[in-house]
Structure 1
Amino acid sequence: MPELQRLRPDHVPALLTFEQENRAYFAASVPDRGDAYFADFAARIDALLAEQASGICHFHLLVDPDGAVLGRFNLVDVENGSADLGFRVAEKATRRGLATATVLHLCTLAATEYGLTTLRAAAALDNTASRTVLTRAGFVPTEEEVQLGGRPGLGYVRGLSSGPADGAR
């Protein structure tokens, strides 16, 4: 069974593999990170770990029992009890309910471990999979129109309670 783990330095090799193996798949639904993203990947992750240590972000990986990364689930721009949720799941891990279950689990962590009361998210209008995950995880559209890599999108929000979220694992 996959496990949600907080990002650690020893995740770097598996995370790089995840990003490289899924680059074309991700680019079909979210803006491509570009070649520069991969040029000094370890330093980039070190910077993220520093942000995490400061408490302004919480980065998580969904890891299978063999140590392969199946997804990234991030809470960024933590401030005043709220944060922005972002996630991406490996192509091989789609259509199994993992994204929805993990977002629900992260909502519980956000409330109980990080003291958050609200999560925001956004998804491109043509990214049906992400919009479905957000809706199934209790996010509601805000009617806020956003641009994601030049593509029209929609903002979402979800209030959190300190109790377990429905469907959390």
Structure 2
Amino acid sequence: MPELQRLRADHAPALLAFERENRAWFARTISDRGDAYFADFPARHQALLTYQDEGTDHFHVLVADDATTILGRFNLLDITDGQAELGFRMAESATGRGLATEAAQAVCHLAATDYALTSLRAQANLDNLASHAVLTRVGFTVTGETVLRNGRAGRRYVKELKGGATGTAGATGL
């Protein structure tokens, strides 16, 4: 059973492989990260861990049964005043099985309980139907606001959270 894990330093090789292997797949519906992302990956990964330690962001990876392959990323970004932006991406090989919905639901639960957040925002490009479906399934509602994401039209979502701090985030089996 895939497991949602908080991002750690030792995830770096598998995360880089995930990004490289799915680069063309991601570029179909979201902006390409660019060559610099891959060239500077070690420093970028360390910066993400620093942001996480500072509490400004929380990063998670969905790890396959083999415990070494990353199937997806689920991030809570730009935490301010109890709010954060949810961002996620799934490997092409992991789509169509409900894993993105399950992992997004788990991250929403962590946001409410472990991170004491009160609401989440998200956005998806208009042509990214899978992301729209995931957001709707986990309880996000469309705000009616159209946004531009790297030159592409997108739709904004919001989700109010209920819960309270219960502990620290760790691994969550799906």
| TM-score of the aligned structures, taking structure 2 as reference length | 0.93
How do 1:41-52 and structure 2 match up within 5 A? 41-52=41-52
C-alpha root-mean-square deviation of aligned residues, in Å?
1.2
Find the residue that maps to 2:45 and give its secondary structure: helix
What residue in structure 2 maps to residue 59 of structure 1? 59
Answer yes or no: is 1:25 the counterpart of 2:25: yes
- C-alpha displacement at 1:108, in angstroms? 0.5
Counterparts of 1:52 and 1:106 in 2: how far apart (Å)?
Answer: 14
> What's the % identity of the aligned pairs?
61
> How far has the Cα of 1:40 moved from its partner?
1.7
Pairwise CA distance, 1:51: 0.5
Structure 2, unpaired ranges of 5+: 165-172
Secondary structure of the 1:70 match is: strand
Corresponding residue for residue 6 of structure 1: 6
Which residue pairs with 2:140 in the alignment? 139
Determine the structure 2 residue equivalent to 1:104: 105
Cα separation, 1, equivalents of 2:17 and 2:90:
13
The offset of 1:65, in angstroms, is 2.2
1:70 match: 71
1:128 Cα deviation after fit:
0.3
Cα distance in structure 1, aligned partners of 2:148 and 2:55: 27
TM-score scaled by structure 1?
Answer: 0.95
Kindly provide the CA deviation profile for residues 67-121 of structure 1, in whole angstroms up to 9, marking residues without a partner as x. Answer: 1000000000011111000000000000000000111111110000000010000
Separation in 2 of the partners of 1:113 and 1:139? Answer: 19
The aligned amino acid for 1:112 is T
Structure 2 counterpart SS, 1:59: strand
Whole-angstrom distance in 2 between the partners of 1:102 and 1:40: 27
Write the distance in 2 (CA, Å) between the matches of 1:98 and 1:137: 12
- Tell me the SS of whatever aligns to 2:130: helix
Q: Which has the higher contact order (CA 8 A, sep 6+)?
A: 2
